[in-house]
Structure 1
C-alpha cells in the first residue's frame, strides 16, 4: 500500500508544494515545529534513509540543501536545522526546520497556521528557489 507521502506525490492528497525534480519532492509539514518547516522526500518509496542506494541518497541531500537555502532566505531564523527520524511514516523524509531556539527541534511544540499562512509561506520559499 502506498505511503501517505506517495499519495501526496501522486496528487491524491493535497499539500503546500515547495519544489519537485525528477527524483524528489518538497512540501510544507502540516504540523510544523516552526513556520516554514518543510519535508523533502524521494519519489521512490523507501522506508529507511540508510536503505537508499548511494546515488538516490546523494540526490536527496543535494535537493534538501537547495530547499534549505531557499527556506533560510525566505524565513527569518537563526538557521535551518535538518533532521531525519522516520518513525511516523514509512517513507524517507528529511525535516528542514527554521530554528529560533532548541524548542523548534523537539517536535513537542507546534506552530498553528491558517491555510492562507501556509500558502504565503510556501510562495515565499518557492520564490527563493528561482
Structure 2
C-alpha cells in the first residue's frame, strides 16, 4: 500500500507544495513545529534514509539544501534545522524547520496556521526557489 507521502506526490491527497524535480518533492508539514516547516521526500518510496542508493541520497540532500535556502530567505529565523527521523511514515523524509530556539526542533511544540497562512508561506518559499 502506498505511503501517505506517495499519495501526496501522486496528487491523491492535497498539500501545500513547495517544489519538485524529477526525483524529489517538497511540501509544507501540516502539523508544523514552526511556520515554514517543510518536508522533502524522494518520489521513489523507500522506508529508510540509509536504504537510498548513493545517487538518490545525494540528490535528496542537494534538493533539501535548495529548499532550505529558500526557507531561510523568506521565513524569519535564526537558521533552518534539518532532521531525519523516519518513524512516523515509512517513506524517507527530511524535515526542514525554521528555528528560533531548540524548542522548534523538539517536535513537542506545534504551531497552528490557517489555510491562508499555509498558502502564503508555501507561495513565498516556492517563489524564493525561482
TM-score past 0.5 threshold:
yes
Deviations 1:49-72 (A, max 9, x none): 000000000000000000000000
Tell me which residue corresponds to 1:99: 99
CA-based RMSD: 0.3
**Within the alignment, does 1:16 sit opposite 2:13 as a pair?**
no
Which runs of structure 2 are paired with 1:36-55 in the superposition (5 Å)? 36-55=36-55
Q: How many residues get paired?
A: 130
2:62 corresponds to which residue?
62
TM-score, structure 2 as length reference: 1.00
CA distance, structure 1, for counterparts of residue 78 and residue 46 of structure 2: 32
Deviation at 1:101, TM superposition (A): 0.4
* Cα deviation, residue 88, structure 1: 0.6
Superposed displacement of residue 125, structure 1? 0.4
Q: Corresponding residue for 1:128? A: 128
Mapped partners of 1:37, 1:103: distance in 2: 13
Distance 2:112 2:92 in 1: 25
Structure 1: gaps of 5 or more residues: none
Runs of 4+ in 1 over 3 A off after TM superposition: none
Cα distance in 2 for partners of 1:54, 1:72 equals 27
